[in-house]
Structure 1
Amino acid sequence: MRDLKGWTFWLAASVAVAASIYHLWTGGLGIFEPREQRSIHLLLLLPLAFILYPATGSSPKDRPSAIDWGLSFLAILPNLYSYQCANGGPFCASVINLRFETVDPVFPVELGLGAIAIVLVLEALRRAVTPVLAGLVALGIGYLFVTEHMPGILYFRDIPASQIVETMYLFNGLGIYGSITGISATMVAVFIIFGAFIEGSGVGRLFHNLGMKVAGRQSGGPAKVEVVSSALFGTISGSSVANVFATGSFTIPAMIKLGYRRHFAAGVEASSSVGGQIMPPVMGAGAFVMAEITSIAYQTIALAAIAGSLLYFFMILVSVHFEAKRLRLVGCDPEDIPQWTEVLKDVHLLVPVFVMIGAMALGYSPAFSAFWGIVAMVPSSWLRGHTRLYPADVLRMLATGGRNMVVVALACAGAGMFVACLTVTGMVISFSTVVTSLAGSNLYLAGILIAITVLILGMGVPTTAAYIIGAAIGAPILQKFGVPELSAHMFVFYFSILADATPPVSVASYAAASIARCSPMAAGVVAFRLSIAGFVVGFSYLHSGALLLQDTWSEIIGEFLANAISLSLVAAGFFGFFRAPLPLWVRLPLIPLGIFLALADALPVWGRVAAATAIAVALFRLQKAAARREREAPVLDVAIQ
């Protein structure tokens, strides 16, 4: 992002503030007709992308170039036309909402503006999001032009250029202004603004101090503080990279100072920050997309995510504890641990969070609940003098929220375009046929193929876009195997998030490595090991609804315990410590054994709990006996001499 100066800075900030105010207004007072809502959404944010993000590394970093200004102006035109033609404005060639798609003609003005819109969204994706997503969408659009020449399952009838532009620009359910963009223009936008207010109000300081107070004195205290604070902060921010920089700036140096290896400290931060997107009550933008796609209430999704997120962070804490014990690390310096009075002096900053959660519990929409959470932010900040928000602070947070919306809005628009490519050509059905033929009747094999696909997508594509594309091609396949809809979508959602912590391209690991000054690949390997609970939980969703709280209490408790104990064994195998250091011949079988006991759905759940517990107890006693013999050995040697 450019570091703008002077009047350009104030212009960009004003547009960003206007975008935030618009989305707050519609979030609290009611949205426009869908086409109008989405058009204004992109009318404000698409031009901003060319002002905020340079085209190349050699482009000016403090001001837009003449080309950037030209692209920004061009970006206004297709969105303005779309808005005023939604219900028949004075300058429209057709009333877009009343069109018969693929039947009514595409007028020359619409063909021209649609082509401009497609090119500008691709360029904005390349600049502001990632060239990978831009390339993926461009590949999909290119495929539409040559479908009649493709072999096998890639073949489709000839699609005229006018129909391609119509699909991307004039369709109301697909393409640039489709339902995916609608989600970012309503629910997601308001929560991004809420996150900007939370981050700017000092809640990060509260979570860090609380983590220090709770876990700072324990062995390897800074790492455990980082896990706790990232879990708390991540549930509000919903962004793994934002979480890394918000909490890692404090915790990574503290971990290194205490004695943790640099790449381990970065891996802990990356895996913990990634987990914030699966931690209720807010989670990531993908959770709101899931609610819209599945028509399952967001409150139900957030509740179903609780057990899995607890297991995820439980394994990270256990792994950190084992590593600290193996290295014989101590806790934080008592002088660095805040008193409860210091922690509690910021606790009033959580009032907006409770307002938001309370509103959702009463049945209000997530956007409306977040709106009232933001409204409660200013008066609650005035409960203490050191946290008071003044008009300048509010404007700064509104500007931050508007800037943060640009990336998500573009990612959703790009994902909507790519899904349109898959849908109109029937590639979703073709992919389903390929996976089904390869997997046969094996649900786990189908899950592995889908997980690999989503992980590859997620390595170069933002979480929200990866989930949207993965859900379009993967969730229906799992449902054909009898997996419930919520379970299938949570499976895809988990792996789209875990891609951020999976080498070779893991953006959270790259961000953490930049703070720790270590190899991103080494940090990514550690993050992958620490995140293995997410992989296990994801596959658990395929055979059981217990971890989604969709079963009897006996099954829910049993499945949770089976996973918790089994994942502890996996952590011991990965990091070489249980009660004492473990030899390699013990570590190697512990990893597959723990994963097997977590996922062996053919065995009774309480039988798996008993087996995992027996192994853990036996391992503990054997190591205890070995430690006793080691302590007694010197005494015996003296007696012999």
Structure 2
Amino acid sequence: MSVSSNASSPTPSSPDNEINLDDFETQHRSGHWLNRVVFTLSIFLAVAHVYINTIGTLPELWVSSFHFAGFGALCALLVPARPKWRDSKLALFFDTLMVLALIGMVLYIVFFEDALYARGVTFDTGDWIVSSISILMVLELIRRTSGWFIPLLILVALTYVVWWGKWLGGPFSFPGLSVETLLYRSFFSADGMFGPISRISWSFVFMFILFGAFLVKSGAGDFIIDLSRSLASKMIGGPGFVAVLGSGLMGSVSGSSVANTVSTGVITIPLMRKAGFPARFAAGIEAAASTGGQLMPPVMGAGAFIMASYTQVPYVTIIGVAAIPALLYFLSVGFFVRVEAKRSKVTSTSDVGIPVSQVFKEGWHHIVPLGVLVALLIKGYTPTYAAGLGILAVIAASWLSKTHRMGPIRILDAMAQGAKNMSTTAVLLIGIGLVVNVISTTGVGNTFSLLISDWAGGSLLLTIILVAIASLVLGMGLPVTASYIVLGTLSAPAIFNLIAQSQLLEMMSNGTLPQAAHAVFMLVDPTSISKLTEGMPMDQASALLAQVPADFKGMLMDQALGANTVAMTLLTAHMIIFWLSQDSNVTPPVCLTAFAAAAIAKTPPMRTGITAWKLAKGLYIVPLLMAYTPLIGGDTETLIRLTIFAIFGMYALVAAMEGYLEDRLSIPTRVLALIASILMLWPHFSLWLQLIGLVIFLALFVMGNKTYAKNNAPA
């Protein structure tokens, strides 16, 4: 038996076993005893996690097991094993057994972990039973909430370690581990289901999902939509820009692109259709903009926290360097809005003209919690502690509102909603920890990175294309966060090495290689020192670098590039993968964000997905800029130049794709727009060629504007 509920707003069609993110505010008063159990459990989990992340000092294994048990129990009560069992007493019986088993698992770890180490890590009957059942419960809970793909992926990974890996030939052959060793590494060690991914889940991810739930409950969502409508009221195609601005701002604190689409799309899609935008275009814009919300600081879904853990780059640095790429993405979506608005003769609508001053007068206090959060992060507080104080700031700021003051009931509702929003993500990340453990245990990650480099022939562009294809395939079954974790583990080293190598080759070619790095080349070719000082052709530099033993290349990169550049290069590799992982949201055949928007707009889901994929082209352009330019970690002057040319270059590319700028483009002018975009976006062109591209684009823009004004002048 599972808690039934009614969504408070239109929701897209979804699998029967998927959790609907509805409102607890009426649910816990419905009178059903199970609803009250779920509500109470949600409150308990929220309070416990806030305590753990702020002042608690419990062992991490205990916390991780409690995290899984709590949210596993919540999932068991929320989602039935099969949809037709939703009101079955037998289902309630089995779900109760699962809850009791989860509680028993936590108690076993607390009271019997020391006994395992006293036996020299030799399993007894209890260890076998508890570890095996716990893994099976992970698989079942993920199957209920996310379908069969991820459990099958986990089973393939686990059986590879103990069974069929030794049958493989070639680089992926693995001699195998015993079942006992696998269970120990998966359950008790600090690298399995209760390892680094679990720690990220119960700390960063939960605290910011809870922070977002408090913001929504305080009325910040309404403020964001009102602010977007007021800012976009005078723009050409204003309702389309409401979707872009609203979804971007909402996504900055939301952890789900689908939830972002549903919460903002019910307002923005009807607005766009009323103004004259085609229904499929309106749904595509909402899907593309909501996907971009995952890229918008300060939260970025869960990606920023996982990146900080993987790269050891401070969280504040990550959200700082992520701002310009996110801005470029939303501008690229906005260019499609403007072009379509011109083509469809959409200007603005009378119901989006809310004065900005009025919006800020009534809702300025919603900005305070975000300001507190960012200020605390800049001051050096941990993200979890900053999120905890940010939640207090939300409550305090809400008392400046006339309509959304957060009293005890609203606070409890926000806690419950935050826990419910976290439940699916928690069990999913616990399960993905099993896959990541297999990757690190077997060395598959390094092998995969080497194979990608080999297949791409050392080409960075081909490597990125291969990773994009892999992300799309993984994205058919894995949510964005899980897809990024798996791909980051597998392919980040390959992209990092290629970017770092290209920087190193450029220094060798220009004769700017630091003296400290010459010693490595002395071991390879003593006669090369003079050439390194004077510079050498790129092919000679590449041949010389190829002679450096693999064991020395890491040291060479550290000496040549410096610690900061190496860190930014590693961050660039992860940022590229994180961006590419988003494409499954808008790329058929499985594009849940586009399907959610299609359900609201009542348009064909697959055709809507194709439209959203076209409108989200920034997901591919911006990562290429990251790879070939210092868009991540560059100096201020370089970033300004890159940003300006990237903005106009993407606008020119949109015009070339759509055949429309300010007016319809002929074939020759469309080709000119494409040439202009290439000149401005291609990283290896000189400044003069980029300026020529800018001049071409501006000329096309001015001519198109004059033609449009002439053709649409009143008679």
TM over 0.5, shorter chain: yes
Which whole-Å deviations, capped at 9, do the CAs of 1:106-153 have from their partners, x for residues lacking one?
Answer: 222111111111111011111123432222212212322221122322
Distance 1:482 1:574 in 2: 29
For residue 169 of structure 2, what is the aligned residue in structure 1? 151
1:476, distance to aligned residue in structure 2 (A): 0.8
Contact 2:232/2:352 (8 A) holds in 1: no
Cα 1:629/1:182, change in 2 over 3 Å: closer
Could you tell me which amino acid in structure 2 is paired with residue 51 of structure 1?
Answer: L
For residue 93 of structure 2, what is the aligned residue in structure 1? 66
Could you tell me which amino acid in structure 1 is paired with residue 109 of structure 2?
Answer: S
Q: Show the 5 A alignment for 1:400-549.
A: 400-483=417-500, 484-545=569-630, 547-548=631-632
| SS of aligned partner of 2:83 | coil
Which whole-Å deviations, capped at 9, do the CAs of 1:344-385 have from their partners, x for residues lacking one?
Answer: 212212221111111111110110001001012222111233
Which of 170, 180, 185 is the equivalent residue of 2:188? 170
1:394, distance to aligned residue in structure 2 (A): 0.7
Contact 2:79/2:145 (8 A) holds in 1: yes
Q: Show the 5 A alignment for 1:547-586.
A: 547-548=631-632, 550-583=633-666, 586=669
Q: Show the 5 A alignment for 1:199-348.
A: 199-333=216-350, 337=354, 340-348=357-365
For residue 612 of structure 1, what is the aligned residue in structure 2? 693
Distance 2:483 2:663 in 1: 41
Distance 1:631 1:346 in 2: 39
Please state if 1:79 is matched with 2:106: yes
Cα 1:334/1:128, change in 2 over 3 Å: closer
Which whole-Å deviations, capped at 9, do the CAs of 1:555-597 have from their partners, x for residues lacking one?
Answer: 1111111211110011112333212012456546745x46644
1:340, distance to aligned residue in structure 2 (A): 3.0
Could you tell me which amino acid in structure 1 is paired with residue 572 of structure 2?
Answer: S
Q: Name which of structure 1's ranges 459-468 and 574-583 shifts more when overlaid on structure 2.
A: 574-583
Please state if 1:160 is matched with 2:178: yes
Could you tell me which amino acid in structure 2 is paired with residue 179 of structure 1?
Answer: P
1:629, distance to aligned residue in structure 2 (A): 8.7
Cα 1:85/1:585, change in 2 over 3 Å: farther
Cα 1:630/1:386, change in 2 over 3 Å: closer
Cα 1:303/1:45, change in 2 over 3 Å: same
1:328, distance to aligned residue in structure 2 (A): 0.5
Could you tell me which amino acid in structure 2 is paired with residue 108 of structure 1?
Answer: T
Which whole-Å deviations, capped at 9, do the CAs of 1:84-123 have from their partners, x for residues lacking one?
Answer: 445x3xxxx324xx89xxx732222111111111111011
Which whole-Å deviations, capped at 9, do the CAs of 1:589-639 have from their partners, x for residues lacking one?
Answer: 745x466445522223x335313312212323553676699799xx9xxxx
Distance 1:594 1:165 in 2: 58
| SS of aligned partner of 2:70 | helix
Q: Show the 5 A alignment for 1:585-604.
A: 586-587=669-670, 590=673, 593=675, 596-597=678-679, 599-604=681-686
Contact 2:166/2:175 (8 A) holds in 1: yes
1:274, distance to aligned residue in structure 2 (A): 0.8
Cα 1:519/1:527, change in 2 over 3 Å: same
For residue 145 of structure 2, what is the aligned residue in structure 1? 128
Could you tell me which amino acid in structure 2 is paired with residue 493 of structure 1?
Answer: F
Distance 2:467 2:677 in 1: 19
Which structure 1 segments of 5+ residues have no match? 636-641
Question: Identity over the aligned pairs, expressed in percent?
Answer: 30
Contact 2:680/2:691 (8 A) holds in 1: no
Distance 1:487 1:377 in 2: 33
Which whole-Å deviations, capped at 9, do the CAs of 1:458-514 have from their partners, x for residues lacking one?
Answer: 232111111110110111111221441010010111111232122221111111111
TM-score (normalised: structure 2): 0.82
Cα 1:80/1:553, change in 2 over 3 Å: same
Distance 2:643 2:693 in 1: 12
Distance 1:246 1:140 in 2: 36
Could you tell me which amino acid in structure 2 is paired with residue 428 of structure 1?
Answer: G
1:342, distance to aligned residue in structure 2 (A): 4.3
| SS of aligned partner of 2:85 | coil
Which of 77, 81, 92 is the equivalent residue of 1:55? 81
1:25, distance to aligned residue in structure 2 (A): 1.1
Cα 1:316/1:62, change in 2 over 3 Å: farther
Distance 1:621 1:374 in 2: 49
Could you tell me which amino acid in structure 2 is paired with residue 3 of structure 1?
Answer: S
Contact 2:38/2:74 (8 A) holds in 1: yes
Cα 1:209/1:629, change in 2 over 3 Å: closer
Contact 2:680/2:694 (8 A) holds in 1: no
Which whole-Å deviations, capped at 9, do the CAs of 1:504-527 have from their partners, x for residues lacking one?
Answer: 211111111111111122222222
Could you tell me which amino acid in structure 2 is paired with residue 319 of structure 1?
Answer: F
Distance 2:626 2:450 in 1: 22
Contact 1:178/1:416 (8 A) holds in 2: yes
Which whole-Å deviations, capped at 9, do the CAs of 1:271-304 have from their partners, x for residues lacking one?
Answer: 1111111111222112111111111111000001
Cα 1:620/1:379, change in 2 over 3 Å: closer
TM-score (normalised: structure 1): 0.92
Cα 1:331/1:159, change in 2 over 3 Å: same
| SS of aligned partner of 2:665 | coil
| SS of aligned partner of 2:400 | coil
1:3, distance to aligned residue in structure 2 (A): 1.6
Cα 1:607/1:474, change in 2 over 3 Å: farther
Contact 2:336/2:615 (8 A) holds in 1: yes
Which whole-Å deviations, capped at 9, do the CAs of 1:156-201 have from their partners, x for residues lacking one?
Answer: 10322112212211111x2210111011111111111101101111
Could you tell me which amino acid in structure 1 is paired with residue 106 of structure 2?
Answer: N
Could you tell me which amino acid in structure 2 is paired with residue 600 of structure 1?
Answer: W
Could you tell me which amino acid in structure 1 is paired with residue 193 of structure 2?
Answer: I
Cα 1:622/1:209, change in 2 over 3 Å: closer
Distance 1:554 1:118 in 2: 52
Distance 1:333 1:516 in 2: 21
Contact 1:316/1:530 (8 A) holds in 2: yes
Count, aligned residues: 619
1:32, distance to aligned residue in structure 2 (A): 2.3
